[in-house]
Amino acid sequence: MELHQLKQIRQKLHRIPELGFQEFKTQQYLLEKIKSFNQEYLEIITWRTGILVKVAGTKPSKMIGFRADIDGLPIQEETNFSFASTHEGNMHACGHDFHMTIGLGALEQLAENPIEDDVLFIFQPAEEGPGGALPMLQSEVFQTLKPDVIFGLHIAPELPVGTVSTRPGLLFANTSELFIDFIGRGGHAAYPHLTNDMVVAASTFVTQLQHIVARKVNPLDSSVITIGKITGGTVQNVIAEKARLEGTIRTGEPSAIHDIKESIEQLAKGFEKSHHCSIKIDYGSNYYQVYNHNDYVLQFKEIVKSSDMVWKEANPAMTGEDFGYFLRDIPGFMFWLGVDSNYGLHHSKLNPNEEALMKGVNIVESTIRQL
């Protein structure tokens, strides 16, 4: 597949971003492309809005898996691309259009020229939420085709085209969404003594949350609690009966997530008494850490060094990725692919350089052939 063909595929996918488990047009387009490839060695299986494609090996002794996520984000695009999103309020702002395109490019190459081992291409839905990796991993169809080794990539806006980066051990953090609802008693602003103000309760709670990281978590265990959104009240002269906090928890150790949640719940019990309210906590989607297996990272490093790509050792990041669930059960790794964008991940103006598409296809195919 030539670069101009990869660009056409990426731009088509970029126009139709869909949220988790709603990737119907995306799945249809992927299936159309996959069915246009040589079918002699292919077995195509759908799972919900995702797709599994097995490429039969000529003399298989193991199964090698490559995963590409397929969903978009609820972000209004502001790129002014000629191929901008046609789905109002949705955008491929995390590069999943790149991931899918690279997967298709490598799949076509393997379909024409298979290796001795079996290969499984995994087009996984709902990475951004509510989380597609874990239910896919646990599904009967996946367990039947479960790879012996698995890898995946993620675009890196800050890295130049032609650069790949990863590391053994922790690459991405353990993450959990955090939603906290406060319910009290509203009333007139002139009579605060007759109310239980939930704006005050929620605001105070935000400051207390930071004490959990500062005083309840081992300082050697990296942890973050971020509240990104606060809502409450209806009008300026009415004391709020309800308020809501929305945020995220991120940790470098799996056990730290449990400890932080326990501390949040203890804090909430105290607030219910001191602020005369009820508090409900929802942890939403939870993602397991992306922990790369040392031997495969070292092998990948040698593959990169023998290619035209540049290797860069990565630092651990507090970003989240549900690919971690695959790596919890299957040895493998994830790596960053440089795309040289002026804007970062989840930005409404993300503009990855499409020259990275062919680089991505080549390194994915080379890795599959040499693992």
Radius of gyration of the chain (CA): 23
Residue with tokens 């790509």: 309
* C-alpha dihedral, 261 to 264 to 266 to 270, nearest 10°: -170
Closest CA to 262 of 252, 249, 273: 249
Write the burial class of residue 222 (CB in 10 Å: 0-12 exposed, 13-18 middle, 19+ buried): middle
Q: Which of 97, 127, 128, 340 is catalytic?
A: 128
Q: Based on the residue annotation, tell me whether 282 is a catalytic residue of this protein.
A: no
Three-class DSSP category at 108 = helix
For 327, left (φ over 0), alpha (ψ -120 to 50), or beta? alpha
Which run of H or E residues covers position 119?
Answer: strand 118-124
Q: What are 356's two structure tokens?
A: 């990275």
Q: Which of 69, 97, 127, 340 is catalytic?
A: 69
The DSSP string of 274-326 is HTT-EEEEE---EE--EEE-HHHHHHHHHHHHTTTPEEEEPPPBS---THHHH
Residue with tokens 């494609």: 53
Q: What are 266's two structure tokens?
A: 């203890």
Q: What are 209's two structure tokens?
A: 């949350």
- Cβ-contact 133, 321 below 8 angstroms: no
Pairing of strands 187-188, 332-338: unpaired
Q: How far apart are CA 53 and CA 69, in angstroms?
A: 14
Q: Based on the residue annotation, tell me whether 69 is a catalytic residue of this protein.
A: yes
Active site residues: 69, 128
